[in-house]
Structure 1
Amino acid sequence: MDGKGWTQHVEPVRAAGAAEAIARRLSELIGARILVAGDRLPPEKTLAELFGVAVMTVRHSMAVLREDGLIETRRGRGAGTFVVPDILTRIGELTALHPYTRAEIEELTAWRIAVSGEASARAARLASDAGLARMRELELAADAALADPEAYRTADAGLHLHIAELSGSRRLLEAEQGIQHELTRLLAGHPGGTGSRSTPDQRHRALASAIEDRDPVRARAQFAVHAEATADLCLPFVQEPAGA
């Protein structure tokens, strides 16, 4: 159906507020780079089955995502509903309507350290050799994508989601998806270029090395350094609202 397995991250939703919940979940999967530009969504009937709702409920959700400019529906040959090609630009435009404040960036950083730091520590204890090898592949992919903001955001999110998978905790993985969604929103409009992505603390070698060495204390500490480096990258560009 989708060839990527992203539907494993979908669960039935409750009837109350279901349309909004579905739109929010799909938006989160787009922000977490599990769904990326050009990806085709299943038909509405299939989505309704996945979420355990009526087709009309899914139709309302699709309307919300189309209104936000995150998806588009094409007619004729190659018809279907797709994530828009310029998705990072669109996410940046949406974020600009309600930009992050200093307090929100600091809160996001604390959330990352709590969730992703724990995931890193657990990965250091629990990861299989195959999981570590895959982590190394994803780290190299992120390094190779430094010059391309969209490719790098996808690779970076993929690496952190994989580390969360290595933790063996479904709840940590779900939380990591939310974190990556927030990071995509935060970073989509960031003016920094390749240089800002290639500093030692922004790259992942120290964190990956701690996990490979099966040192949970060092893995947790290295993740905190990594998260704080991202905050330091973004805070200089915060424009607090007048009167704040």
Structure 2
Amino acid sequence: MSSTAVTEALAVLELRQYTLHPGRRDTLIALFEREFVEPQEDVGARIVGTFRDLDNPDRFVWLRGFADMAARADALTAFYGGPAWQANRETANATMVDSDNVLLLRPLGGDQGLRAALQPRPPVGAAPTARGVFTITVCPLLKPADDALVHAFDQCVHPWWVGVGGDLLACWVTEPAPNNFPRLPVRENEPVIAWLTRFDDEAAQQRHATLLRSSGCLERAEWRAHLSGEPQQLRLAPTPRSALRRRHSIEG
């Protein structure tokens, strides 16, 4: 895709968490990276990042972006009706227990950090490299994001998050538009705020978590007043062809 297309394709994102049958994650990743990346991007989607969950060996997590909601409907219709999915869907679906854990998101503010973090995708079969660690933190909200929520995030979370070493690349809130491709369910009526952070390795991520706990920022009453439950944090290792990897990584 051109740089212009990449920029536009980050206006709407899906955060997709798949629960897989035990021992089938590597099978799905190999199939996905060989057969499903380019065919989706050829019809207007952007495969932003693909990950192994470090805390759940049977979870595959990925981010898919679109220019807007209309482009999402067009791209999904073209891909899921197209030859790549039709030829491989039974093999892919056989690895999955559940693929309906999906949040539809839009950027909160700019997304320059995320766009700058995207790297050229390695070819199929590229030699393994050190790809870093990412976290996605998802906080359930009592109501859709508003100015008060943004203020609380800016005052209580963001300065502490980056102040103790987090490379915060993007922040999203729930996309309010209804799901316009109902063949693929999403978690509607579950407003969230979510953000993506990059670390050079797991040790750096764990140091950040320790310092963040010591700060107590996530327990401040001004922040917790907006939440309907406990945050979820996904700790993620990029797959070989993920466009999100450690900064300055060099492919073999």
Shorter-chain TM-score tier: under 0.3
- Say which structure, 1 or 2, has more relative contact order (CA 8 Å, 6+ apart): 2
Give the structure with the higher percent strand.
2
- TM-score normalised by L of structure 2: 0.27
